[in-house]
Amino acid sequence: MQTVLPAVCDFSFLCFFYLWENVLEEVNHTKKIPTEYKINEIVKLALQFATKTCEEMDIPLVKRKTTREKKMISGEKAQNVPLILNAELKRSMWFEYIDRFFKKLTLVAKTWKLY
């Protein structure tokens, strides 16, 4: 239980939880791949949901491992700069997960001749 609770009380977990709940519900309900507009709305709502939930539960919006050292000039280092979590998650949700999911879903649908 000690390892599950910190993982669940995390901004990115809450984003993906909302995202997949709604994407899978949409696919199950309509039996079709949602439009790009619908997916953009779900991603935007997922970020809003996670932000609001984190604020209500006093969960930090910056992940522990999202800092990096940015090099200015060869050998010179700047301060650790936190990555912009919202932008990183939005890109990740779209390009890494949703895009791959819909490619697989389309392949399965064509194989089963659903479309």
State residue 115's pLDDT score: 52
**Rg over CA atoms, the chain:** 18
Q: How far apart are CA 93 and CA 9, in angstroms?
A: 18
The token duo for 51 is 């932000």
Higher pLDDT, 97 or 83: 97
Are 85 and 38 a contacting pair, CB within 8 Å? no
For the chain, domain boundaries: 4-71+79-111
For the residues 75-89, what does the mean pLDDT come to? 62
Lowest average pLDDT, out of 58-67, 71-80, 84-93, 95-104, goes to 71-80
